[in-house]
């Protein structure tokens, strides 16, 4: 049977204006993506309306005594997009650009990601508007603990479970776990995921997102008949996701031509020595551009270098109408959340660039977070080979489902297919549960 054409079934879909979120370009982008799904589906308008807004949004003031004795008040946010399938699940971001709209968009994407991966979670996200590199470890601990304290009534292992994101790490999760556990009087490891293994973390969680990114890249290379040993990659961001992705790609023979972080970008046509670069950055956190075995390049130009795979693994909206036309990669593997704007999507479709969309590509993180939560609830822990085997199976299965739907319905790109699977799963659950009361 010939595949169904990519059909627009409903035109002029518009969601109700949201007084606090509509001014955010990232939230508008998340909604634009939802519209693309809604146009092509038979979802009930009432359910779509419910999904177009976050269920709960919290704004908290986080007053903290700095090391110099002064008090500074930070803005903190937590958004629970929906909790139909289980607790809200999603990262906590420390970054100077964090605002409610960004957090709400990231929470919505978490909903679709958990839906796509069939995980029993709703979407959540949190953030504090702070530049973590400008604060001491003691100040970051106080910010984390006070933020947690302010949110105590709204979080819980069956309500909302946080994990690391940009600017936060295993230590941040340990402070949250301790603050929450102290408040209830006993250890509660299942309140967060991505914590150190010593206190109930899952082996392989730290590497899970980057590894998942690379499992999906390997699927795409195979589908396109490209030998990984002949492939090259350019990676934006050298934090948790970017550095692990570089390492895993190198292990499979892919040459890393260029890497960037917030301090600059470097390249080496022979392939960067990722092990040496990791050691260099660990010793000099601001020193990536000075890596002796690399040549400095302009970070914007770096994105436009000729390569097989471009991996954005930093922030949102970095591939946009300005630069999409200049990209020379064959594949974009979205390690970051929301790195490509809808305008760029249209240009990339025209150019025939194959996108592995964020909610699929970086889903390894929340998948192993799910493994961690399950292990904590049962107090029964798996070994790393078990974790990796299960992760690889779920990532490859999700990749196949996305590609099958994209082909069956002749969708313009994989993003529409992935979002359709995610949105329809959540919508189905809402429909079956009905509307309370």
Is 16 annotated in the active site? no
40 vs 93, which CB is nearer to ligand NAD?
Answer: 93
Give the one residue of 37, 107, 116, 315 binding ligand NAD; rule: CB under 6 A. Answer: 315
DSSP for 231-261, written as a single string: -EEEEE--SHHHHHHHHHHHHTT-EEEEEEE
Give the one residue of 237, 294, 357, 422 binding ligand NAD; rule: CB under 6 A. Answer: 237
117 lies in the site for ligand NAD, by CB under 6 A: no
Give the one residue of 164, 200, 201, 294 binding ligand NAD; rule: CB under 6 A. Answer: 164
105 lies in the site for ligand NAD, by CB under 6 A: no
Give the one residue of 76, 90, 115, 335 binding ligand NAD; rule: CB under 6 A. Answer: 335
φ/ψ region of 92 (left if φ > 0, alpha if ψ in -120 to 50, else beta) reads beta
Are 384 and 326 in contact by the 8 Å Cβ rule? The answer is no
CB 167 → ligand NAD: shortest distance, Å? 5
126 lies in the site for ligand NAD, by CB under 6 A: no
Only segment of 41-49, 145-153, 237-245, 387-395 that touches ligand NAD (CB under 6 A):
237-245
**Candidates 55, 89, 125, 255; catalytic one:** 125
What are residue 379's DSSP bridge partners? none
What span, in angstroms and rounded, lies between the C-alpha atoms of 226 and 211?
Answer: 19
What span, in angstroms and rounded, lies between the C-alpha atoms of 280 and 290?
Answer: 9
Helix (H, G, I), strand (E, B) or coil at 123: strand
62 vs 360, which CB is nearer to ligand NAD?
Answer: 360
165 lies in the site for ligand NAD, by CB under 6 A: yes
> How distant, in Å, are the alpha carbons of 87, 189, 265, 406 from that of 288?
38, 35, 7, 39
337 lies in the site for ligand NAD, by CB under 6 A: yes
Give the one residue of 76, 200, 365, 422 binding ligand NAD; rule: CB under 6 A. Answer: 365
Q: What is the DSSP letter of 153?
A: G
What span, in angstroms and rounded, lies between the C-alpha atoms of 87 and 158?
Answer: 5
Give the one residue of 167, 189, 357, 422 binding ligand NAD; rule: CB under 6 A. Answer: 167
Give the one residue of 100, 108, 219, 336 binding ligand NAD; rule: CB under 6 A. Answer: 336
413 lies in the site for ligand NAD, by CB under 6 A: no
How many residues sit close enough to ligand NAD to count as binding (CB under 6 A)? 24
Only segment of 43-51, 55-63, 165-173, 386-394 that touches ligand NAD (CB under 6 A):
165-173
Q: What is the DSSP letter of 93?
A: E
Judged on CB neighbours under 10 Å (0-12, 13-18, 19+), 53 is: middle
> How distant, in Å, are the alpha carbons of 311, 319, 397 from that of 401?
22, 25, 6
What span, in angstroms and rounded, lies between the C-alpha atoms of 270 and 294?
Answer: 10
241 lies in the site for ligand NAD, by CB under 6 A: yes
Catalogue the active-site residues.
Answer: 125
Chain residues that interact with ligand NAD, rule: CB under 6 A: 164-167, 209, 236-242, 260-262, 299, 313-315, 335-337, 362, 365
């Amino acid at each position: 049977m010939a595949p169904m054409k990519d059909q627009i079934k409903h035109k002029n879909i518009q969601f109700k204006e949201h007084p606090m979120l509509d001014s955010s370009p990232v939230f508008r982008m998340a909604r634009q993506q939802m519209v693309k799904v809604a146009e092509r589906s038979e979802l009930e308008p009432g359910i779509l309306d419910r999904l177009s807004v976050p269920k709960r949004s919290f704004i908290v003031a986080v007053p903290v005594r700095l090391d110099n004795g002064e008090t500074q008040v930070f803005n903190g946010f937590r958004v629970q997009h929906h909790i139909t399938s289980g607790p809200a699940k999603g990262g906590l971001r420390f970054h100077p650009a964090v605002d409610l709209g960004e957090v709400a968009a990231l929470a919505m994407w978490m909903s679709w990601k958990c839906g796509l991966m069939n995980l029993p979670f709703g979407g959540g996200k949190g953030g504090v508007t702070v530049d973590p590199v400008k604060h001491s470890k003691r100040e970051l601990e106080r910010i984390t603990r006070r933020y947690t304290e302010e949110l105590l009534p709204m979080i819980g292992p069956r309500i909302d479970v946080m994990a690391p994101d940009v600017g936060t790490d295993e230590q941040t999760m340990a402070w949250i776990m301790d603050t929450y556990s102290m408040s209830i009087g006993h250890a509660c490891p299942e309140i967060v995921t991505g914590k150190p293994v010593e206190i109930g973390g899952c082996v392989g969680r730290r590497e899970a997102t980057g590894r998942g990114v690379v499992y999906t890249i390997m699927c795409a290379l195979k589908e396109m008949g490209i030998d990984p040993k002949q492939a090259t990659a350019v990676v934006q961001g050298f934090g948790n996701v970017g550095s692990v992705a570089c390492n895993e790609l190198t292990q499979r023979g892919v040459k890393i031509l260029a890497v960037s972080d917030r301090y600059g970008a470097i390249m080496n046509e022979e392939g960067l020595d990722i092990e040496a670069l990791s050691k260099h950055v660990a010793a000099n956190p601001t020193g990536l551009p000075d890596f002796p075995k690399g040549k400095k390049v302009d970070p914007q130009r770096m994105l436009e270098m000729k390569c097989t795979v471009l991996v954005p693994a930093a922030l949102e909206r970095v591939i946009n109408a300005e630069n999409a036309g200049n990209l020379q990669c064959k594949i974009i593997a979205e390690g970051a959340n929301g790195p490509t704007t809808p305008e760029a999507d249209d240009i990339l479709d025209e150019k025939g660039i194959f996108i592995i969309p964020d909610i699929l590509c970086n889903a390894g993180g929340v998948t192993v977070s799910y493994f961690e939560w399950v292990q904590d609830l049962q107090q029964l822990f798996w070994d790393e080979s078990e974790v990796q085997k299960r992760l690889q199976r779920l990532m490859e299965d999700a990749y196949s489902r996305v590609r099958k739907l994209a082909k069956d319905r002749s969708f313009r790109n994989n993003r529409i297919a992935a979002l359709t699977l995610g949105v329809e799963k959540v919508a189905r659950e809402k429909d079956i549960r009905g509307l309370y009361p």
